[in-house]
Chain A
Amino acid sequence: MTEMTYREAIRSTLVEEMDRDPTVLLLGEDIGVYGGTFRITEGLLSRYGPRRVVDTPISELGFIGAAIGMAMLGLRPVVEVMTWNFSLPAADQILQNAAKVRYFTGGQVRAPLVIRGPNGAGVQLSAQHSQSFESFYGHFPGLKVVAPATPADAKGLLRAAIRGEDPVIFLEHAALYGIKGEVPDGDYTVPFGKAAVVRSGHHVTVVSYSRMLHLALSAAHRLSGEGIECEVIDLRSLRPLDMETVAASVRRTHRAVVVQEQWRLYGAAAEISAQIYERCFDDLDAPVERVTGEDVPAPYARNLELLAFPGEEKIIEAVRRVIA
């Protein structure tokens, strides 16, 4: 075990995988000379040279499409999007090519690449720079969508993503880059589709992922002081989605709260709640609660922004409602 930040976990995994496999290369805006907007790729240009650490123009459609083409020819590109907000010009490439080429060619062409970068709500970044894409990309078969909440998972999931056979949407969270945690040493992977029970409890199951996990955990800590024990689950990957672990927990606790940062309508929490009803209807002692962002573009003003995204308080209130 080594203690490191989420950022360091991502960087060291990139280094280990690039050392191990010469077909792994990086592309993105300002990842080389500049060192990466979030300094993930700092130092990698001098280590691997400009053919493996490719600074691209501001041309998401072009370079993400090109990375897909590289993957088709046997390379394993890891693309950094400056933030997932800027993946939209390339959505055509990701959704129409990467997600589907294996299927419509009957398995003849594959596109194993990783697209990674910060996702989620920021600090007063307002409408165009503060949103989450897990439901958007998670909707499309052919893609895998992961959202690590801890440094250990950032490492394990990224390694699995790079070594896998599929296009992976790797959603980091800008607010998590600085968090520290113990990371297992060596050749460590976290398989997709295996949720983690991060805290056990018997009163209610709180399902979350990415940054919301940390809010759920501190809410659980506070509720524990009142004698309410939350079981907190980190989904880790949104597609594939490990509903087995969630359902098993709900069958023990009989109550569920699903927490997500993004918008409510058609969001991941809607899917997860529906599946809880499908699988555990007879086990439930209360309706499933959803804690989500408000259905508005992210506002700039600090007070409005605080209202727009879920905080610890909203999770505590939701838990109290399902317990009542």
Chain B
Amino acid sequence: MERVEERVAVERMLDWYRRMVLVRRFEEQTERSFRRGKIGGYLHVYIGQEAVATGFLDAIREDDIFFASYRDHAHALLRGTDPRAVMAELYGKATGVAKGKGGSMHLVDVARGFYGGYGIVGGHLPLAVGAAYALRYQGTDRICLCFFGDGAVNSGAFHEAANLAGLWGKEGMCPVVFVIENNQYGMGTSVERASAVPNLARRFDAYAIPNERCDGMDVLAVYEVARRVVEEVRRTGRPYGVEAVTYRFSGHGAADLFQSYRTKEEVERWRQRDPILLLERRLRERGALDDARKAEIHAWAEGLVEEAVAFAEQSPDPPPEELYTDVYGADP
């Protein structure tokens, strides 16, 4: 890892740290807002998994695109979507990224290449494959990232999407990176209890898609893989699969309070490798972070989150007319 670390400028690492702290503080706030009834529906947070999206989204270009599952707040924030608009969406307000019509599971920011969060497990994988085809069809060298959980790997959609990607990739027509965010559980079912082959990266072998596993708690490790893979996919137009081994510290959703499917000790063990903690240690070793700097960064993140909440609280509900907009486009 030393070798990698030397290549990544400390400024970049500090930037990751800032973003990850912002995402963490933001999501902790959403859990509080959910408990206060300010956020409705389902709320799935990414706490513990931040290194995965941070590493990958920092490895792609501004004009690249990505898809995510319903666990998508981090992806929007890390890509630079205004935290106020994200929070307003969760509050169901007119100022939200989707005018309050999508909510937590359907964040989106097409201007930044984010084609959406999707609520059906595995359902967005085929979309990403088609999107990748379109990017090549249009003669560009843009690429597409597709984030999804370990549970999605067992859906038919995964297998059909992977087969098409492998097939179209032979012609250099499918520059998609499948990113399995293996947080060990699909709701309350562990990977071992759900997958005949728990080494999920190996599933890609069946479709001639090169693949590897990486430490999803270590943003440096993720970034190193992501950077290499993204450039390879860009060059070849062929798909690639990465399984980032990570862990979610919170419940599956905000309503999953008791988590009887796992032990406190297990969660504690993983917390020792909290991605923010790991990065903080690295930065301290290099003399790039001290208590004062850390406090400053956390205060900055808290400030942004407070601002986002205030914005969401003060924003108007969507006007009733919005009920009927965005169902159809203009007539031909």
A59 to B126, CA, bound (A): 11
The reply to whether B123 and A92 contact each other, CB–CB distance below 8 Å, is yes
A227 contacts partner chain B, Cβ-Cβ < 8 Å: no
A35 contacts partner chain B, Cβ-Cβ < 8 Å: no
B129 contacts partner chain A, Cβ-Cβ < 8 Å: yes
Binds B, one of A158-166, A213-221, A292-300, A308-316: A158-166
Binds A, one of B102-110, B271-279, B294-302: B102-110
Q: Mark B113-137, 1 if CB is under 8 A from A, else 0.
A: 0011011100111111111111101
Contacts of A180 in B (CB 8 A): none
The reply to whether A192 and B331 contact each other, CB–CB distance below 8 Å, is yes
A156 to B330, CA, bound (A): 17
Output the nearest chain A residue to B99 by Cβ-Cβ distance: A106
A142 to B328, CA, bound (A): 6
B152 contacts partner chain A, Cβ-Cβ < 8 Å: no
B215 vs chain A, min Cβ distance (A):
30
Output the nearest chain B residue to A99 by Cβ-Cβ distance: B327
Contacts of B325 in A (CB 8 A): 107
Contacts of A70 in B (CB 8 A): 130-131, 133-134, 137
The reply to whether A61 and B156 contact each other, CB–CB distance below 8 Å, is yes
Q: Contacts A73-B131, A104-B98: A66 and B329 contacting too (C-beta < 8 A)? A: no
B260 contacts partner chain A, Cβ-Cβ < 8 Å: no
The reply to whether A104 and B157 contact each other, CB–CB distance below 8 Å, is no
A109 to B328, CA, bound (A): 11
Contacts of A105 in B (CB 8 A): 98, 101-102, 106, 108, 110, 116, 326
A74 contacts partner chain B, Cβ-Cβ < 8 Å: yes
A245 contacts partner chain B, Cβ-Cβ < 8 Å: no
A113 vs chain B, min Cβ distance (A):
9
A253 vs chain B, min Cβ distance (A):
30
The reply to whether A189 and B332 contact each other, CB–CB distance below 8 Å, is yes
Q: Contacts A92-B120, A106-B326: A191 and B131 contacting too (C-beta < 8 A)? A: no
Output the nearest chain B residue to A52 by Cβ-Cβ distance: B137
The reply to whether B130 and A67 contact each other, CB–CB distance below 8 Å, is yes
A53 to B245, CA, bound (A): 39
The reply to whether A61 and B328 contact each other, CB–CB distance below 8 Å, is no
A69 to B128, CA, bound (A): 6
Contacts of A59 in B (CB 8 A): 160, 163-164
A200 to B161, CA, bound (A): 51
A177 contacts partner chain B, Cβ-Cβ < 8 Å: no
A144 to B128, CA, bound (A): 23
The reply to whether A72 and B98 contact each other, CB–CB distance below 8 Å, is no
Contacts of B164 in A (CB 8 A): 56-57, 59, 62-63, 66
Q: Mark A85-108, 1 if CB is under 8 A from B, else 0.
A: 000010011001100011111111
Can you spell out 8 A-B residue pairs with CB atoms less than 8 angstroms apart?
Answer: A63-B160, A65-B127, A68-B126, A75-B134, A97-B124, A97-B127, A101-B116, A164-B332
Given contacts A97-B124, A103-B101, A106-B326, 15 further A-B contacts (CB under 8 A): A51-B137, A62-B126, A64-B126, A65-B129, A67-B130, A69-B128, A72-B127, A73-B131, A73-B138, A74-B134, A89-B156, A92-B120, A93-B127, A106-B96, A165-B332
Chain B interface residues (CB < 8 Å from chain A): 65, 96-103, 106, 108-110, 115-116, 118-120, 123-135, 137-138, 156-157, 160-161, 163-164, 167, 171, 173, 325-332
Chain A interface residues (CB < 8 Å from chain B): 25, 50-51, 56-57, 59, 61-75, 77, 89, 92-93, 96-97, 101-110, 112, 141-142, 144, 160, 163-166, 189, 191-192
10 cross-chain pairs, A with B, having the tightest CB-CB distances, nearest first = A65-B126, A165-B329, A69-B130, A62-B160, A66-B130, A106-B98, A73-B134, A69-B127, A106-B99, A69-B131
